[in-house]
Amino acid sequence: MDASDLHIPVMLERTLELLAPAVARAEAAGRAPLVIDGTLGMGGHTEAMLAAHPSLRVAGIDRDPDAIRLAGERLARFGDRFVPVQTTYDRIDLALEAAGAARADGILLDLGVSSLQLDDAERGFAYAKDAPLDMRMGQSGDVTAATILAERSDRELARLFRVYGDEKLADRYARAIVAARAEAPIETSARLVDILQAATPRALANQGHPGKRVFQALRIEVNQELAILERTMPAAIDALGVGGRLVVLAYQSLEDRVVKRTLQAASSSTAPRDLPVELPEHAPHLRLLVRGAELADEAERARNPRSAPVRLRAAERIRPASNDSTTAPTPREQP
């Protein structure tokens, strides 16, 4: 299996463009720049970055051993400029340690489920393919989608579908699942889809696949995606050196909300409005690089349908961490 045949990186050129100044800054300082690809996947973004910058090193994080193996094969020609790290992407500290660095010049987070996982029918991520209801990204741990469906109450399932899937029929689907599992365990994606379709009112049958939001909610819960992202965002900001850049690609509103909230907080002053000077502890740590969230253009959406829901946000670290150096107060800008 060739990793390059399985994955088309989303918003690749824009990602390279946003990270390039941070790489150039490190090169101008006379050192080899380091970018952390927190969501290595099939290695498409990392391959493009390494090819574009001959002095660059990339530490690639992925919890999936298959992704680490396939990306490693794809990136073998770059030698030790690629450093694989098998863990969840909140462990940016482990990536820095593996690369022998104190700070990163760039961090990329391409969130959500990877092409490798979506296209592997045995993983059970896709509602359009019959497979065991597993959905574990790293194939470790005891919690699978099937165990959640077997063990959670109808109230717990409804809350899960509502919060993580924004599913309007959450209560109805939860009751149908509990009733169906009393007859036989729900262990395959095809059976779950049949249950959801049977529980969908006829008037709503043509308004999208009933499995889309339920499968998303189950995947997020199995892999603790939002909890990990909540830890990752501040860890990523802390890991950047001054001038370092963070680029995040989110594919659903819950992820994008976490990213937006964290970046806005880190790019805003916390000083009281009547303070004559802005003390270092109140100054923002980041400068936003894009206005709001950028979308893939029409050409890319046509070429790569998986880019359709993407929301790109990016920021640059403008102040050092408190333990890096002491920064003098700066005059506060007047409104």
| Sole residue written with tokens 């946003």 | 18
Q: What sign does the dihedral 284-291-241-330 (CA atoms) show?
A: negative
Tokens of 138: 């790293």
Q: Which of 67, 66, 58, 53 is nearest to 20 (CA)?
A: 53
Residue 43, marked binder: yes
Residue 117, marked binder: yes
Residue 154, marked binder: no
Q: Which pairing describes strands 277-278 and 240-250: parallel, antiparallel, or unpaired?
A: unpaired
Which element (helix H / strand E) includes 117? helix 115-119
Taking the C-alpha atoms of residue 154 and residue 143, their distance in angstroms, rounded to an integer, is 18
Taking the C-alpha atoms of residue 254 and residue 129, their distance in angstroms, rounded to an integer, is 25
Q: Which pairing describes strands 57-62 and 34-37: parallel, antiparallel, or unpaired?
A: parallel
φ, ψ for residue 12, nearest 5 deg: -65, -50
Residue 110, marked binder: yes
Residue 79, marked binder: no
Q: SS3 sequence, 219-287?
A: HHHHHCHHHHHHHHHHHHHHHEEEEEEEEEEECCHHHHHHHHHHHHHHCCCCCCCCCCEECHHHCCCEE
Tokens of 151: 């063990």
Beta bridge partners of 84: 60
Beta bridge partners of 58: 35, 82
Tokens of 271: 């000083």
Q: Which residues are annotated as a binding site?
A: 43-45, 62, 89, 110, 117
> Which residues are documented as binding site for S-adenosyl-L-methionine?
43-45, 62, 89, 110, 117
